[in-house]
Structure 1
Amino acid sequence: MNDFLSLFRGRKDVFAVRWEKASKSGYMPSYQYDPYHYRSHKMNGGTFANYPHKTYLPLTDYEIQKHLNGIQQIGVYPLLQDNTSWFLVADFDKQNWKEEAVAFLNSCKERSIPAYLERSRSGNGGHVWIFFDKPYPAIRSRKVFISILEQSGAFSMFDKSSSFDRLFPNQDFLSGKGLGNLIALPFFKLAMENGNSCFVNPETFEPYSDQWQFLNEIKRISIEVLDKFFQEISTTQNRPINVASCGSPKSQNGKLSITLQQNIRIQRDGLSTPLINFLKEELNFANSEFIIKKKMGKKTFGTERFFK
C-alpha cells in the first residue's frame, strides 16, 4: 500500500468515484452530507447540485482500500492547489493506441526518462505514467512532454487520427472554478481480473506477474532533470525564424519559397496540381477554441480539433 500511496499522489482533500446508471457512466467528487437533511432539501425542489450543506470527502487509506478491493473505483485530481503535480500521464485511446504509446515510451527511454504503461480499465486504451521525485509545475511538465510526444510522432497538431487524447494534468493552472481533470487510479480489482487497470509489458502487452513488486521498482525523474528539458525546449522554441522577404514568395531554381507572417503564404506556381489538391483537402489547422477548452478542462464534445 505504501508504494501505491507514494506514487499516485493527487489532492488529498477530495477524490472522485465512478458511477453507472443505465447506459451512462462517469465520475463525480465524493461528498459527505446529512442524508436526512438532503432529503428535506430535495422534497422542497432542491437538487444535489445546489445543496449547500455538502463537503468534499477526503482521500484516506480506507477509501483507497475500497478501490483496491473492487468496492468503488476512484479517480484522483493530479493538479494540486499550487498548480504542480507529482506525476504526468499521457492518455491513448484509439485503435492504434498500442503503437503510439510505445513510440512515446521509446522517446522517453531515449532521453533516460522512466515511463510506464498501464492498460486502462476498459482495455481499449493505455496510460503512460511518468512520476516525479517532487511536485513540479504543470505548465512546465506539460510543455516538456507535449514536445516529446510531437518528436516521437505519437502526436501532431495536424493529425486527426492520432490515438493520443490528452495529458493529465490537463491544465496548466486551476481556473479557480473547479478541480481540474481527474484520472482513474489503476489496480481496480474488478478490472484487474480481466488484465486491465494494471501495468503491462510494452513488448508483449501482457500484465506483469507481480504488480506490487513492479510498483516497488518504479523510478522517478528528478525535477532538476525536468528543468533541463524545459530550458532546452524553451530555448529551441524561442529561436527567431528566418522568413522570406515580405513581398510575394517566388519559386526560384526549383525551390519553393514560403513566407511566414501572420499567415502562411505559398507561391502557387511552385506547386504541382496534385500537391495543390492535396493541400486543399488534407491540410489541417488546429482549432484554437478546442485548445482553449481543453486547457481549461471544459467539455470538448462537438468542438472540432481541426479545421481546413
Structure 2
Amino acid sequence: MDKPVAKTPKYAIVNGDEATFAELLPHTNGDTTIVVYTDASGKRFYATEDEWSHGGREFSTKAARQGIVTSESSTKDKIALFKLLFEGRKDVYAHGYRRKDGGIGYAPMCSNEWKPGVCPKKTNLKARCPDCPQRSFAPLSDSALVSHFKGERSDFKDVVGLYVLGKNCKTSVLVADFDKEGWKSEIAAYQQACEASSINVAIERSRSGNGGHAWIFFSEPIDAALARNLGSTLITTATNTTGALGFSAYDRLFPAQSTIPEGSFGNLIALPFQGLAQKQGNSTPST
C-alpha cells in the first residue's frame, strides 16, 4: 500500500515570522522537494520540507492559542469570524429574488412569506413587510450563510442581504460603493486614503463584476452619522490625491442614512462570497 502523502501546510512560522506557502519545487538531487513561500511583504524564499513542516506545526499551535482563523480552520470557526465581521441588524436580514427583468431584488426573510391566507403580499403586492402584523422574522442563521456561500439557486433566493443599521442607528461596518467604468482606480485611491489614516479596509469585487465595495469594520458599533462622516472624509482625501474633480464611479456609502426612516429597516447591502457570483469571479476579494 502506498504511503499517504502529507498535506503541505498553507501557513508556517519561519525565523519567527509568519509565511504563506507558494509552491513545491523538486530539488536538483531528485530525492527531495523545496518549499517556496512568501513573507508578509510578498517576497519569495525557500525552505526544506522539514523546516516548513516544523514551521507549520508552530503556526497551528499559535493559531489555536490566539484563536486565529485561517483557510484551514473548521467551517464553524470560519462562519463565526464572518458573522463577527459582517455584523448588521440582528433581528432580521434580507434574501434575494429574481425580478422580472432578470435583476436581483431583496425582501426581509420571513417564515410567513407568500403563505396563503397569512401573507398580505398574496393579494396585495404593495403590502409592506415592516408594517405587516403577520411578519415572522429571524436572525441570520449559519445554514442561511452556508446556502449563500454555495449559491445553488438561480432564483437568487439564497443570496443574503445585510441591513447595516441596528435599531439604535449604529453600525458595525462602513462600505463605500463604486460602480461602472473607472471603479478600480477610484477604489484604489480610496484604499490608499484609508491606509494613510491607518484604517484597514477590505476590497470586494461586487456581484455584478462591474464595481467594487470597500469594507471598513469597526471594533464596536458607532453612530451611523459618525461612520458616514468618516467615509465622506476619506472620499474627499482620495479625490484630492488623484486631482480629479469628482469620482464618477463612486456611488454611495453604506449606511446611506444616519437614521432609520419610519416604517423601514434601513438600506441593505449583499454579503460577499456568494456562490453563484463567485463562479463568475465576482463577490470576492479584489486587489
| TM-score, L = length of structure 1 | 0.59
**Hey, what does 2:36 align to over in structure 1?**
none
Measured after TM superposition, the shift of residue 176 of structure 1 is 3.0
**Hey, what does 1:3 align to over in structure 2?**
81
SS at match of 2:209: coil
Q: Matched residues, percent identical?
A: 37
Q: Is the 8 A contact 1:155 1:164 kept in 2?
A: no
2:146 is the counterpart of 1:60: no
**Hey, what does 1:199 align to over in structure 2?**
285
Q: Is the 8 A contact 2:186 2:247 kept in 1?
A: no
For residues 36-58 of structure 1, what are the alpha-carbon distances to aligned partners after superposition, in whole Å with 9 as ceiling and x for unaligned? 3237x678x54471664222233
**Hey, what does 1:38 align to over in structure 2?**
118
Question: For 2:176 and 2:209, how far apart are their aligned partners in 1?
Answer: 16
One-letter amino acid of the counterpart of residue 98, structure 2: E
For residues 248-295 of structure 1, what are the alpha-carbon distances to aligned partners after superposition, in whole Å with 9 as ceiling and x for unaligned? xxxxxxxxxxxxxxxxxxxxxxxxxxxxxxxxxxxxxxxxxxxxxxxx
2:118 is the counterpart of 1:18: no
Q: Is the 8 A contact 1:12 1:60 kept in 2?
A: no
Question: For 2:121 and 2:165, how far apart are their aligned partners in 1?
Answer: 33
Q: Which runs of 5 or more structure 1 residues have no equivalent in the other structure?
A: 203-308
Q: Is the 8 A contact 1:138 1:171 kept in 2?
A: yes
User: What's the RMSD between the two structures over aligned residues?
Assistant: 2.5
Question: For 1:46 and 1:145, how far apart are their aligned partners in 2?
Answer: 39
**Hey, what does 2:197 align to over in structure 1?**
111
For residues 158-208 of structure 1, what are the alpha-carbon distances to aligned partners after superposition, in whole Å with 9 as ceiling and x for unaligned? 9576211111111111123211110100010111122110112x2xxxxxx
**Hey, what does 2:271 align to over in structure 1?**
185
Measured after TM superposition, the shift of residue 124 of structure 1 is 0.4
Question: For 1:105 and 1:161, how far apart are their aligned partners in 2?
Answer: 14
Question: For 2:210 and 2:150, how far apart are their aligned partners in 1?
Answer: 22
Question: For 1:122 and 1:2, how far apart are their aligned partners in 2?
Answer: 26
Question: For 1:42 and 1:6, how far apart are their aligned partners in 2?
Answer: 33
Relative to total residues, which structure has the larger strand share, 1 or 2? 2
Shift in CA distance, 161/84, structure 1 to aligned 2, threshold 3 Å: closer
2:179 is the counterpart of 1:93: yes
Q: Which runs of 5 or more structure 2 residues have no equivalent in the other structure?
A: 1-78, 153-157
One-letter amino acid of the counterpart of residue 180, structure 2: K
One-letter amino acid of the counterpart of residue 53, structure 1: Q
For residues 114-146 of structure 1, what are the alpha-carbon distances to aligned partners after superposition, in whole Å with 9 as ceiling and x for unaligned? 111100011000000111111111111110220
2:214 is the counterpart of 1:128: yes
Residues 240-279 of structure 1 aligned to structure 2 (within 5 Å): none
Question: For 1:143 and 1:164, how far apart are their aligned partners in 2?
Answer: 16
**Hey, what does 2:63 align to over in structure 1?**
none
